[in-house]
Each structure stands twice: as C-alpha cells, then as structure tokens.
Amino acid sequence: MSAQRLKILRDVVNLPTAPFVESRVIAYIRAFVARRPALRLTADPFGNLLVRYTPPRKARVGRPILFAAHMDHPGFTATRALDARRIEADFRGWVSASYFPNERIQFFSDGRWVPAKIEKVIPAKPTTTRDKKAAASASSFRDQSPPQGVIARCASPVALGSPGMWNFPDAVIRGTQLHARACDDVAGLAGILCMLDEICRKRIPVPCFAFFTRAEEVGFAGALAAVAAKTVPPNAVIVAVECSKAITGVALGDGPVLRVGDKASVFTPAATAYCQVVAENLAMKNKTFRFQRKLMDGGTCESTAYCHYGYDATGICLPLGNYHNMNAQTKKIGPEFIDTRDFLNLVTWFVALAESPATMRFDGRHPGLHKRLDALLKQHRPRLRKTARSVLA
C-alpha cells in the first residue's frame, strides 16, 4: 500500500506545472480517473476539475466532503523568443526577487526538459498610487513582489507557452524525506489521488468529491472563479490540502497538520472540529498515525477564499521545507521537501474522512471536549451557587 502511494506521489511531483500552464497535471488526473469506473470528472469553464466518487451501492445520507488542492506551483512561462536560444519568460507566483539572479531554470518543451540560465531579471512594473493601496490592503497575502519575469539563455529552442521551473532533477527520497522541484501543492494533490484510489478499491458507501484548481499561486484565481460559477457543491464540507511552510512548533515527521487558520483568516470551527475528531479516533486505533494542530500563518490558502464566500471549510497541510524553493539558510533556490511519513498519514486521514460523513455529527462540537466541559460544569456549579451570595455581598 505504501509503495503504491509513494509511486503516485513521485509521479505527480515530477510533472511540469506553473500558473495557467497546468496541462500536464490535468492530463495525469484525466488518465487517473479514466481507469476507475467509480470516478467521474467534469471541468468548469476555467479549467478547474471536479471529480465525483459514486458509491457502487446505495449511499448513506450525510453531507458530502470535498477535498481540494491546486495544480500549480510558482514558475515561469515562455512568452517571447528573442533569438534562437534566448527567450523572455513571465514569472507567476511568489518567490523573493533576491533568489533570481543567475539561477538555472528549465522549460518543459515538446515533451522534454530544456535547461536554461537566467541572464537578466525583469523587475516588476512600477505600481500606481491606486495599486500601492491595493497591495497594502493585501499585505496579509504576500510579503514582497517577485520580478515580472526573466530573460534566459536556453540549451535549445523552447516553444512559446512552455512551463518553466527551477532546474532540479526528478524527486528523490532520502531517508524519510522526499526532495522535489515542487511539492506545493502537487504533493497535496497526490494525497487526494491516493485517497481516491483507495476508496475505489474499498468501494466505500459514501459519496465524496475532489476538486483541483488552477493558478492558485497568483491569488486563488481558479478557486475564486469556481466559487463565482458555483462549480463547488454548496453543501459540501471542504477540506483544502496544502503544503505549508514549516513554522516554529511544527516539525516534519510529526504528522500532517490540521490547519485551524492561515495568515489571513481562521477557518470554519465546525469543519476543523470534524477533522480533529476523525484524527483522534484514528490515533486511538492506529498507533503509527500522528497529526498536529496549528495556526499555520506562513502563507494564505484557498480555505480563506472558500470561508469568505460562505462555505464550511478547513485545511490540512503537509509541513514543507524550502517553501517556494527558497532555502532560507543558503539564500539560494533549493528543492522543496516533505516527510513521507507525513504524506502517508495524510492519505490515511483522508480515507477516514471520506468514510465518515454519514456517522459524524457535523455541528462543530468536539465529543470528548463536550463530555469534559459538561463534567466540569456539574462539578463546580453547586459550589458557585453556594458561594455566590458571599462574594456578591
């Protein structure tokens, strides 16, 4: 089981992708769904993908759960040929400008990677007073503007429209860590696919959804368009998965993180409590299962957008090293990395969530906490009454 899950993980994180040029990831998902009769895929007008799992027998009643991930990673798009080997490429997403000069990148063109080197960094366009005010109001989303793009010298001609990424080889596993040119958020997407694979084989009697969005890294473009178009089922409980920058108090290897909020907002308490109860039940049954619970404020994720527009949503994330390929120690571009134990536990958690909507009471209360608080009330209420007159006199 673990070997199959890790194979899907490696397959997905090796795919080329960048905002607005996610075609290779989309093709992989289409092929994955086509091999599983219980799954049905539809695309909205913006290229977001909705996958529905339909049980082979009569479904139990319950609110459906929807697992969401985005298909892009900060990267380049070849936009203009300057001569046979030099191209101009836009950069989309957020990486600090100081990481770009003289870095090596690569473009996926005509079915192969073409190495390239940045010769010139094109600064971001000057902002107007109005733009500056807008940027200030959105400061909780991004700390610093990246360059507008680069001019790069390529080893061979590159087709316009090709996605570009930092020049790292395919993913490798060292010990328990997977190092890849991109984990955010394709590793989270792989976790959802692994969950779909398992529930299809188990033939669970509960319907659920998976939702894959485009161009998250430029500001939730796909998710916002989908919400406006009502692509997302309105009664679904949304669990958005991310790879989120490891922060103080969160360690790689200690389990996936129940993300109670991000840099911009706190998520739906009821949805968060629901995921926590499922995780706690798992931990009691499976001694190898571990999870963490934290406000992950190193960035902002799609759950903020879903909650803002009235959906019940929470987040689960994989702790991430070298967030957006920025190695804070060397101040150079580096591969992102996650712990494979966290990934495997993420899939286990997702499968349990997919199986549980009909049996879990979704009212925002934590059953264990409710019992404890009720016991405390019964214990202390008589003494409060008895002593109230004396303290109020």
Angle between helices 269-285 and 367-392 (to 10 degrees): 120
Is residue 124 domain-shared with residue 198, that is, in the same domain?
Answer: no
Q: Do 211 and 313 share a structural domain?
A: yes
Q: What is the pLDDT along the chain (393 residues), one digit of tens a residue?
A: 799 999 999 999 999 999 999 999 999 999 999 999 999 999 999 999 999 999 987 766 678 899 999 999 999 999 999 998 999 999 999 999 999 999 999 999 999 999 999 999 999 887 654 545 444 444 444 445 789 999 999 999 999 999 999 999 999 999 999 999 999 999 999 999 999 999 999 999 999 999 999 999 999 999 999 999 999 998 899 999 999 998 888 999 999 999 999 899 999 998 999 999 999 999 999 999 999 999 988 778 999 999 999 999 999 999 999 999 999 999 999 999 999 999 999 999 999 999 986 555 666 666 667 777 888 889 999 998 998 989 887
CA–CA distances in Å: residue 142 to residues 55, 284, 295, 300: 41, 39, 17, 8
Q: Name residue 257's amino acid.
A: V
pLDDT in the model for residue 367: 64
Residue carrying the six token digits 């010298």: 153
User: Residue 78 is encoded by which pair of tokens?
Assistant: 């070849």
Residues 136 and 22 in one domain: no
pLDDT in the model for residue 104? 98
Contact indicator for 224, 42 with CB cutoff of 8 Å: no
Query: Looking at the structure, do residues 147 and 203 belong to the same domain, yes or no?
Result: no
The predicted structure's pLDDT at residue 146: 87
Q: How much is the pLDDT for 375?
A: 86
Q: Which residues, 6+ apart, have CB-to-CB distance to 148 below 8 Å?
A: 90, 91, 122, 123, 124, 125
Are 38 and 103 members of one domain? no
| 252 and 316 share one domain | yes
pLDDT for 128 equals: 55
Determine if residue 246 is left, alpha or beta; phi over 0 gives left, psi from -120 to 50 gives alpha, anything else beta: beta
Query: Do 84 and 187 reside in the same domain of the chain?
Result: no
The verdict on residue 31 lying in a domain is yes
36 and 158 fall within a common domain: no
**Do the domain assignments include residue 43?**
yes
pTM (2 decimals)? 0.91
Q: Are 268 and 276 in contact (CB under 8 A)?
A: no
If you ran DSSP here, which 8-state letter would residue 261 be given? E
The amino acid that residue 49 corresponds to is: L
Boundary-marking domain end, from 166, 186, 215: 166
Q: Is position 191 within any domain? A: yes
Do residues 64 and 117 share a domain? no
CATH number, domain with residue 134: 2.40.30
Backbone angles phi, psi at 199, to 5 degrees: -70, -25
- Considering the domain architecture, whether residues 123 and 226 belong to the same structural domain is answered as no
Assess if residue 372 is contained within a domain.
no
Residue 260 token pair? 């109670």
Is residue 374 one of the residues assigned to a domain? no
Please say whether the beta carbons of 236 and 64 come within 8 A: yes
The tally of domains found in the chain comes to 2
Sheet with 177-180, strands from edge to edge, namely 172-174, 177-180, 336-339
* Residue finishing a domain among 166, 197, 227: 166
Residue 178: which region, alpha, beta or left (left: phi > 0; alpha: psi -120 to 50)? beta
What is the domain range of residue 276?
2-73+176-355
Return d(Cα 162, Cα 52) in angstroms, integer: 30
CATH number at residue 316: 3.40.630.10
Give the position of tokens 């608080």. 373
Amino acid at 90: D
> 23-34 and 2-13 helices cross at what angle (nearest 10)?
150
Q: Which of 120, 135, 166 is the last residue of a domain?
A: 166
DSSP state of 160: T
Residues 86 and 232 in one domain: no
| Residue 119, domain member (yes or no) | yes
Instruction: Indicate if the alpha-carbon torsion angle 160, 163, 165, 171 is positive or negative.
Output: negative
pLDDT at res. 175: 95
Q: Are residues 99 and 19 part of one domain?
A: no
Asked whether residue 363 is domain-assigned, the answer is: no
In a domain, 376, yes or no: no
- Any bridge partners for residue 42, and if so which? 50
| Tokens representing residue 191 in the block | 């976790």
The three-point CA angle 265-267-268 to 5° equals 140
Cα 312 to Cα 233, 269, 276, 363, distances in angstroms = 11, 9, 15, 11
Q: Which of 164, 176, 181, 194 is nearest to 14 (CA)?
A: 181
Q: Which residue has the tokens 């799992």?
A: 53
